[in-house]
Structure 1
Amino acid sequence: MKRFVAVGSVLAGLGGPQAHAGNLASEVPSVRPIYHWTGFYVGGHFGYGDADFGRATNPFPEQGVLLPHSATALSGGLQLGYNWQLAGRVVIGIEADATFPGPVDGLALARSPAPFHTTIDYVGTVRGRVAYALDRLMPYVTGGVAWGHTHINVNDADGVTPLFPVGHYQAGWTAGLGLEYALSGNWTAKAEYEHVDLSRKTYDLSGFGLGSVNVDPRIHLLKLGLNYQFGDTPWMPAAAKPRLPGSDGWNVHAQSTLLPQGYGPIHSPYASPQSLPGGGQFQATWTTTAFLGARLWDGGEFYFNPELAQGFGLNGTLGLAGFSNGEAQKAGAAFPKIRAQRYYLKQAFGLGGEQEAVEDAPNQLAGKRDIDRVTLIVGRFAVGDFFDGNSYAKDPRADFMNWAMWSSGAYDFPADLPGYTRGAVVELNRKDWAIRGGLFQVPSAPNSDILTFKTGGTVVEFEERHAIFEQPGKLRVGVFANSGNTANYNEVVAQAAANPALDINDIATANQRTRSKYGFYVNLEQQLVTDVGLFARASWNDGQNQILSFTDIDRSLSGGLSIKGSHWGRPGDTIGIGGAINGLSAAHRDFLAAGGTGLLIGDGQLNYRTERILEAYYAYSVVKSVTMTADYQLVVNPAYNADRGPVSIFSGRLHAEF
């Protein structure tokens, strides 16, 4: 995992001899040697493609983001291989890879309803490569065996909602060609076209009244990739033997996180599909992210973060307002899905005066910058990347896992199902304070994966930096307002009481129109002594209209302690303990009590009490940049219902990064 990378269109800005991969380069002679391609490598790729599954197969339209949707659209994955350069310029090699498509394009799917839809879940290949080395440039041809997994979703009467997935594995062959170029240090970049032809598979859908369907995949993939070249001894530190000079013009970082969770039987006298199952459950999530950055000009930087995600939160990320797994997306998937989670331009305008050093890090290029500066960010990102930060409770991959612990729970920040949006942020930074504001797209409806320009979300945050008894701390205060397509709780409850034959959730959908939600949060972090810190958050929203994006919380208090292991001789370890209390407005309570459902919760009825959460974890440093975490969460009155629970949730976490 420490060498994993993935890639995207940012490669166009990386192709010169001055490219650099974070802090992996070291001093080398100024005279560039003839490049030699022999050795092991590992890397990642990102690209675009299309597929034909045969006649009358109704392909799922996958997301193309800035490109048209197609049967595969944006795709990405991992590869590893070995090259052997013969005497002279001929290079032969072998490579294995796996490529995963992106999620479905909801708007395109709604425009093409059908009794069923066909898709490909992934493609794997093992291929030979024959190349001709022109020093740092290597054209090649490739071919070998391929396999993949297709599935058909039989749809509901609306022709869109999947009901019965049926899947099969299919084998075949692949062929392609490409160019690979040595960038700097031990990094190479490649562009590759690959054709994949899989065997025909007949799906018997007669049980659904649809007869038989022949799925005959023909897939076209265009990939841009990065490879890290190890040489013949992949276990040796890369910095000990760089192949080319380095530069500070770009960097690469990556992370991978596996997070399993489970709980046993709980008290559950009644339930709905959005309730935690009474019999207990076990689920797991896995994410792998590449963080690619490039310096474009003075003060201008571009960042791109493709991410693979697989798995589900407990009950499909339903049943808790303060949900237990910060890695669990509402867009869970049985097979990995690739998304271009972040792509944004960052421009800093220095105002002169004192400067500060900037360390190489994910989405951060090393160098120096003016402390007094104005920064503009435009693109796709998570609102939490720039707002509501906290040194002790912010990253579910490293610290607290519960949603109400790493975020201000009542801040309904704009986001699609994985938690990202598009917009702009501007920040004025001074030595002792900063003020920042943002304007973002919001979902087209509650829990929608479609972001819209028709309405928007705004937030303004003031950050104050201080020291108490020479111990540093920060206080952040934010105010926010969203305008979105939501229903009013009081109106829906009144209409349901007047029309008892109608379903309250159907009434809520019909009641949706452009409405606002506003509120505030206060966020404190304070170091008490060296390697011991305290955090606290309070947040509130008006609670009159439906939640759009985050979770079903209108009032929240949270806080706790973070203690580094330096106090017992393990400086890489961390202990955290904290708690949260979540609540609802009166209008929101009445809606749930009448049988309404929210983004994550709704038991069909409600014996209201505040939702109370205790979380404790120990993060153990296995080796540098690899941690294993044991986590326990006690949730009393899950989903604000005193008739349910309590529930004890046990979690593990394996996290690697470089």
Structure 2
Amino acid sequence: MTCARLFRVHIAAGAALGAAAFGASANAADLAVKSPVANTVYNWTGFYVGGHFGYGDGSLGPGTNLLPAQGVFFPRSTTGALGGFQAGYNHQFSNRVVLGVEADATFPDALDLVRRPTTSFNTSLDYVGTVRGRIGYAFGSWMPYVTGGFAWGHSAVRVNDAAGNAISEPGLYHTGWTAGAGAEFALSGNWTAKLEYDYVDLSRRTLDLADFGMPGVPIDPRLHLLKFGLNYQFGDSPWSATPTQTRLPESSDWSVHGQTTFIAQGYPAFRAAYSGTNSLPPGGQIQQTWTTTAFLGVRLWEGGEFYFNPETAQGFGLNGTLGLAGFSNGEAQKAGAEYPKIRPQRYYFKQTFGLGGEQEDVEEGPNQVAGKRDIDRVTLVVGRFAVGDFFDGNSYAKDPRADFMNWAMWSSAAYDFPADLPGYTRGGLVELNRKDWAIRAGLFQVPDAPNSDVLTFSTNGGMTAGGVVEFEDRYEIFAQPGKLRVGVFGNRGNTGNYSQALAIEATDPLQDINTVMAGIRKDNLKYGFYINAEQQVAKDVGVFGRLSWNDGRSEILSFTDIDRSLSGGVSIKGSFWGRPNDTIGVGGAINGLSASHRDFLAAGGLGLLIGDGALNYRNEGIFESYYAYQVNKSLTLTADYQFIANPAYNGDRGPVHIFSGRAHGEF
């Protein structure tokens, strides 16, 4: 693929998806980032796109009751951890002066709602954008510079009721200026890295809160932003048919990839005898989600690697990701947001200890540095990741960005895997791999309460954690490969027991069952198992199936309201009709609940995602089909249809017909 074609691909993807994540050409990204060579003549002229991650602080003005953003390893602050995208152009003159222009968008971390002040209103920052000039001086492969220009942003005021719940979130746009300085360094290939400080001064504006019986709030943003960024340099003529030569030599010690996924979902009106707090609205609805992720990896030493995945997420699942146990959009986080929020979703160390013998090639890819490794090996992983990154894998139903979207299709749905609201946890795992089998085990933090965004190893003064052990067998049937994975899991967390809550509520029916449940939470154990199989039946045709179960005695902590689940389907590649990179998938799932879990919901109980206020119990049934059309190596478009019978296990509601469109870009 020529550089010109690649550049057009990313311009088209950006128009379709709203932005490009650390944008670069597909071929360029397939080249591992390389180490610079001394005395290389380097020229900074050309277009570039990239992304940044960092930390910021500042003020929104006195009396604004700041609602701070999370800071990960750093203190919570006005922006907390921050990240976003940038694009620009440089021109280097013969005297080594470099003039350039750059535009960027920066988004703060998720709001720290757990520790928010108990006031009638709180103020927060949604995003900041700038258009700046840059003046630098090239010292070969590094360039210090100063920068400044126009800035704008958006603030929001969260108006709270007496219980602290938001009843309205009006906002204001601000304009202003920015100035800063930084240095950019050529890393390898066409990749450069930069470290930059920016001061942002936005206009003081007053938000009128008279409709809520309060005086206006003067908001006066002053921000200090420290950003580390990566840029891909396209050169001066990215539209040229002649491929541009990489600027520096290559190395296999780095890996840089990215993805961006936009999903729009909607459903028409459906039958509903009644609705409750967590019910899917029967009148119909359309929602969208958008995520953008950078996959950054580096080899530290022999067998040692570090991976970091900052991700922006924006949008909401249908009904705020409420109303279905087998939810329809795997990209719909429980921490939805109107504006993009940045989170460092993964940061983990991986150490591989080879045991000798036969080796295999490791292809360069997302969270994978190219090289060789022993087939017989022990692997240790420690850090933050999703449990599904290493457990419950499946070649045909695992990634809602590429295949099935429904939660009950890409996961063993009765496995209440430990996770915060976006679906990630912290912990460690160890794996022993052999040629025909593997065994892996992990220990993870769990939320401090059901549906909490706070991960912990201790609640109520006791030890809490989630653990899983999985055995994987690899085999062939009639020369066709297959895999069988069997996992057992247990979570000890701060949950309430369904039967106990029902017994207490029965002594005084005027009590609210949810208040009773919250009052009896303690460290309880939930355990279960899953069986996960995949089998290729012919070239480009595969089938899969999952069976999962948990004891169903206490509340779900993290995933979704499912105690028993059976799913399966077929995946067919398009080689049969001349489209070898297209995929068609057809599958279904049946979800169920334990008896005490049903009774809790029937009594008006609320689960993580469901709760209609009453319950005419039926198994929740799901049918899903999709067609993924690969436009080119960087862009795939998908049409998806889901039929959901008895949504949230309620025979008095539904069925629901959900139609989805997905655009997925990657490099």
TM-score where L is the length of structure 2: 0.94
Alignment of 1:528-567 (within 5 A): 528-567=537-576
Number of the residue aligned with 2:305: 301
1:72 aligns with 2:79: yes
Number of the residue aligned with 1:289: 293
8 A contact 1:439–1:456 mirrored in 2: yes
Number of the residue aligned with 1:138: 143
1:641 aligns with 2:645: no
Alignment of 1:355-374 (within 5 A): 355-374=359-378
Deviations along 1:280-314, whole A, 9 cap, x unmatched? 00000000000000000110000000000000000
3-state SS in 2 of match to 1:277: coil
In 2: Cα distance, 1:495 partner to 1:151 partner: 42
In 1: Cα distance, 2:38 partner to 2:107 partner: 41
In 1: Cα distance, 2:60 partner to 2:343 partner: 23
Structure 1: 5+ residue stretches without partners: 8-19
In 2: Cα distance, 1:633 partner to 1:213 partner: 45
In 2: Cα distance, 1:279 partner to 1:644 partner: 12
3-state SS in 1 of match to 2:84: strand
Cα pair distance change 1:27/1:196, threshold 3 Å: closer
Q: CA deviation at 1:6?
A: 4.9
Number of the residue aligned with 2:279: 275
In 1: Cα distance, 2:34 partner to 2:645 partner: 57
Which residue identity does 1:485 align to in structure 2? N
The equivalent position to 2:259 in structure 1, one of 251, 255, 259, is 255
Number of the residue aligned with 2:633: 624
The equivalent position to 1:193 in structure 2, one of 197, 201, 212, is 197
Q: CA deviation at 1:27?
A: 11
- Which region of structure 1 is more displaced relative to structure 2, 25-34 or 631-640? 25-34
1:349 aligns with 2:358: no
1:266 aligns with 2:270: yes
3-state SS in 1 of match to 2:628: strand
Q: CA deviation at 1:273?
A: 2.7
3-state SS in 1 of match to 2:445: strand
1:427 aligns with 2:431: yes
8 A contact 2:413–2:562 mirrored in 1: yes
Q: CA deviation at 1:89?
A: 0.7
Deviations along 1:537-576, whole A, 9 cap, x unmatched? 0000000000000000000000000000011110010000
3-state SS in 1 of match to 2:599: helix
Deviations along 1:493-527, whole A, 9 cap, x unmatched? 11112111111111111111110100000000000
Number of the residue aligned with 2:119: 114
In 2: Cα distance, 1:71 partner to 1:154 partner: 18
Number of the residue aligned with 2:7: none
In 1: Cα distance, 2:311 partner to 2:556 partner: 26
In 1: Cα distance, 2:291 partner to 2:66 partner: 26
Number of the residue aligned with 2:48: 41
Which residue identity does 1:352 align to in structure 2? G
Cα pair distance change 1:364/1:27, threshold 3 Å: closer
Deviations along 1:134-172, whole A, 9 cap, x unmatched? 11110001010000000110112244x322101011110
Number of the residue aligned with 2:326: 322
Which residue identity does 1:606 align to in structure 2? L
8 A contact 1:435–1:463 mirrored in 2: yes
- Which region of structure 1 is more displaced relative to structure 2, 271-280 or 493-502? 493-502
8 A contact 2:33–2:191 mirrored in 1: no
8 A contact 2:32–2:364 mirrored in 1: no
8 A contact 1:28–1:242 mirrored in 2: no
Number of the residue aligned with 2:466: 457
TM-score where L is the length of structure 1: 0.96
3-state SS in 2 of match to 1:94: strand
Deviations along 1:55-108, whole A, 9 cap, x unmatched? 111111211111111111100000000001112110101000000001012443
Cα pair distance change 1:32/1:563, threshold 3 Å: farther
Cα pair distance change 1:158/1:643, threshold 3 Å: closer
In 2: Cα distance, 1:409 partner to 1:237 partner: 49
The equivalent position to 2:105 in structure 1, one of 98, 102, 111, is 98
In 1: Cα distance, 2:381 partner to 2:33 partner: 31
3-state SS in 1 of match to 2:601: helix
8 A contact 2:326–2:591 mirrored in 1: yes
Number of the residue aligned with 2:608: 599
In 2: Cα distance, 1:418 partner to 1:258 partner: 16
Which residue identity does 2:319 align to in structure 1? N
RMSD of aligned Cα (Å) = 1.8
Number of the residue aligned with 2:6: none
3-state SS in 2 of match to 1:573: strand
In 1: Cα distance, 2:413 partner to 2:21 partner: 33
8 A contact 1:392–1:533 mirrored in 2: yes
Structure 2: 5+ residue stretches without partners: 1-9, 15-19, 459-463
8 A contact 1:149–1:168 mirrored in 2: yes
3-state SS in 1 of match to 2:122: strand
Which residue identity does 2:129 align to in structure 1? G
In 1: Cα distance, 2:439 partner to 2:168 partner: 50
In 1: Cα distance, 2:566 partner to 2:118 partner: 44
Which residue identity does 1:472 align to in structure 2? P
In 2: Cα distance, 1:27 partner to 1:329 partner: 35
- Which region of structure 1 is more displaced relative to structure 2, 51-60 or 118-127? 51-60
